[in-house]
Structure 1
Amino acid sequence: MTQQARKAANLSLNEGLVAQARELKINISRAAEEGIAKAIKAERERLWRIENAEAIRLENEYVEKHGLPLAEYRQF
């Protein structure tokens, strides 16, 4: 994994969470970064589902009417 450039950012965090993280020796910056990455991934997935909802609906309709393509060759 390549090292990404880092950018300083000011965050306001819940005091209790910060205290607990320090007590548990959790790297707050790394934990915040992981949380932000997870939120970005979830939002991109949500937007993709919205943008592709019609195509997904049409594909599901096709499968309901005609079955899965190449289903006769499935071995499970």
Structure 2
Amino acid sequence: MKLFLSFLLLSMVSVSAAWFYQPRSHFINGAGYQASFEAPFRTVLCADQFPIRIQRFADAEEICRIYLKKFVYQTD
């Protein structure tokens, strides 16, 4: 049991030290991860009452027109 607890403590210390001393090169200008992340989707409001999520570079007007035609007005 002592061997197991010793191993557990040693592994926790080594993981903590590795995390603490890791290089911070993935941070851009010290701003952190959130500054460099761009979401692949965005939320748009169709007809002022239907929020839908679309891809970032998709045409919002065309997607809204298709969404309203297909799901709201129930036409093909």
| TM range, smaller chain | 0.3 to 0.5
* Structure possessing the higher relative contact order (Cα contacts under 8 Å, 6 or more residues apart): 2
Q: Provide TM-score, normalisation by structure 1.
A: 0.38
Compare the two structures and name the one with the higher helix fraction.
1
- Tell me which structure has the larger Cα radius of gyration: 2
Q: TM-score, normalised by structure 2?
A: 0.38
